[in-house]
Structure 1
Amino acid sequence: MVSAKERRHQQVLEILQETGTATVGEMGTRLGVTEMTIRRDLELLEADGVLKRFHGGAKLDFGSSYEPPFPVREKTNAEQKRLIGQRVASLIDDGDTIILDGGSTGLAVAEYLLDRQLTICPLSLRVAWAFARSTSVKLIIPGGSVRAGELSLSGADTIDYLRGRHFDTYVMTASGLSLKEGFTEWNPEDAAVKKTAMSVADKTITAVDSSKFTRVGFVKICPTQVPAAIVTDGGATSENLEGLRRQSQGVIVAE
């Protein structure tokens, strides 16, 4: 259960993602809380490294080559990611071999796979650790370099490991999704691993929350037509969803 404070923190980040910057007064008005409450929230979020405060407000800085730190992504659209995770899990059959991406959405998917009979290759130490309490999932950990902070696995060893195996499904996350550029990623090494994972799996299911729509990362992964299914939440505009349906094999809105 998400606490009122956690939900408010998510809403603060969503406001900043919409506007880039916002004043304490603007955020307080939109969320229906006092400015003092917003100031305390901003202090905590800044301490977590998820935003920068300035006199009277706060901001987030996003560019195509800048990857927001994991705490930002973990707190943004958390409830939507849980819905996506649950829906993605329903598309996976027991007994399957799965490549599971890292990041906050990958963690959300992992939570709904803990009690399943699956063989899972996680592409992140965070996701691998999420299965520590599972007694039914068989984990296979690829080699590779671990990115500081992100804890994703990448590099030549990870790619070689994947190329030597075959999987039923790859559950892919992405930093950005646009109708023009398709799926994109902040980090080139992570993008290379994603492309390899797609090539060694029978099908790819992409899990992206609506905050990723119209965002374009530094490196292209694939067009929207490639994944067998795209699972998202209902926060995207109807125009974007309809455009995505026209371009893709299938769109599932988790509600």
Structure 2
Amino acid sequence: MQAQERHEAILEVLLVEGRVEIAALRERLGVSEMTIRRDLAALEKDGALRRVHGGASRVLSGSYEPPFAVRSRLHQGAKAAIAQLAVEQIPDGETLIVDGGSTGLALATVLGGRVVTACPLSLRVANALSASPTVRMLLPGGFVRPDEQSFVGEPVIRSLGDHVFDTYLMTISGATPTAGLTEWNSDDAAVKRAAMANAKRAIVVCDSSKFGEAAFTKIAPLSAPDIVVTDTGLPQDVHSWLTDAGVTVLVADAAPLPPASGSEPERA
């Protein structure tokens, strides 16, 4: 098992249980205690967890938005495949709003080779797009949320309202048939609603773990987007609900993660 896969497995357990023990991880992942300790040290350095005696604990409680450092390490293969499939739906020459978050960053990586005009909703996405010679970028202004680095506030909402975009590539924190599309942060949710209102179509781009979970702030009904791009883990009942509501569902097959740079085989 590669380091990226181990890190994802550790964070998945943390998100559910709040704490992990080194002994349990060693048995679960089939690697040495030294390897587990190195993994925990690397994750703590990135702010993804806090090491405690005998193991590690979650940085925040489950009632709060998981830190970007955690989300960026989860479902990496799925996010890359989903981003690729979503961008295939975008013709050259379109004007886009590109959401933030870890999936937004995956979108920016793929968009770098396209001829489009893009309005990024986070500094991370803007930095990724700035390296592209073919993407014309429109920055929306506004305040920047610490850690998340998303643009928020009235200046962003006014800037979006001054334009009519072809497509909004939208990320979400959760989705259920009853709560609809949801977002952890209320300021981010307000910007997402403005983006949806000023784009001709919305493409929701998210891994299947978001379905069945409701975050703090409602954005729109589950039927609001034109297209949902996700992975093969999408629950069948949600798939049926979406298609019955007229939403096109596209499913990406996640490719295996590449080996981590400099990774070595596990030693006994």
Please tell me the TM-score bracket, short chain as reference.
over 0.9
Q: Look up the match of 1:58.
A: 56
Please identify, of 126-135 and 209-218, the stretch whose mean Cα deviation from structure 2 is larger: 209-218
- Answering whether residue 1 of structure 2 is matched by residue 23 of structure 1, we say no
* C-alpha contact 2:232 2:251 (8 A) present in aligned 1: yes
1:80–1:233 contact (8 Å) kept in structure 2: yes
1:101 maps to 2:99: yes
Greater shift in the superposed pair: 47-56 or 240-249: 240-249
SS in 2 for 1:105: helix
Task: Report the equivalent of 2:247.
Answer: 249
Structure 1 Cα separation of the partners of residues 19 and 240 of structure 2: 29
Query: Given the superposition, is the C-alpha separation of residues 47 and 227 from structure 1 closer, same or farther in structure 2, using an over 3 Å criterion?
Result: same
How many angstroms apart in 2 are the aligned matches of 1:215 and 1:97? Answer: 31
Letter in 1 for 2:33: E
**Aligned pairs (5 A) from 1:1-255:** 4-60=2-58, 61-64=60-63, 66-247=64-245, 249-255=247-253
Give CA-to-partner distance per residue, 1:159-202, whole Å, 9 cap, x none. 00110110000011011122221111111111000000000000
Distance 1:243 1:33, change over 3 A: farther
Preserved contact between residue 211 and residue 235 of structure 2 (Cα < 8 Å): no
* Separation in 1, partners of 2:18, 2:251: 27
How many Å apart are 1:224 and its aligned residue? 0.8
Gapped runs of 5+ residues in structure 1?
none
**1:58 to 1:245, Cα distance in 2 relative to 1, 3 A:** farther
| Contact 1:226 1:248 (C-alpha < 8 Å) held by counterparts | no
Q: Confirm or deny: 8 A CA contact 1:184 1:218 kept in the other structure.
A: yes
Aligned AA (1:63): G
CA distance in 2, matches of 1:121, 1:182: 25
CA distance in 1, matches of 2:22, 2:237: 31
- Structure 1: which amino acid aligns with 2:122? S
Higher relative contact order (CA 8 A, sep 6+): 2
The answer as to whether partners of 1:224 and 1:248 remain within 8 angstroms in 2 is no
Q: State percent identity of aligned pairs.
A: 47
Number of the residue aligned with 2:262: none
Report the alpha carbon displacement of residue 79 of structure 1 after superposing the two structures with TM.
Answer: 1.1
The amino acid that maps onto 2:91 is D
Compute the TM-score of the two structures, normalised by the length of structure 2.
0.88
**Which runs of 5 or more residues in structure 2 are unaligned?**
254-268
| Root mean square deviation, CA, Å | 1.8
1:175·1:217 contact (CA, 8 Å) conserved in 2?
A: yes
How high is the TM-score relative to the length of structure 1? 0.92
1:224-248, CA deviations, whole angstroms, 9 ceiling, x for partnerless residues?
Answer: 1000011111234444444444455
Pairwise CA distance, 1:253: 1.2
Indicate conservation of the 8 Å contact 1:15/1:27, yes or no.
no
User: SS of 2:111's equivalent?
Assistant: coil
d(CA) in 1 for partners of 2:46, 2:207: 22
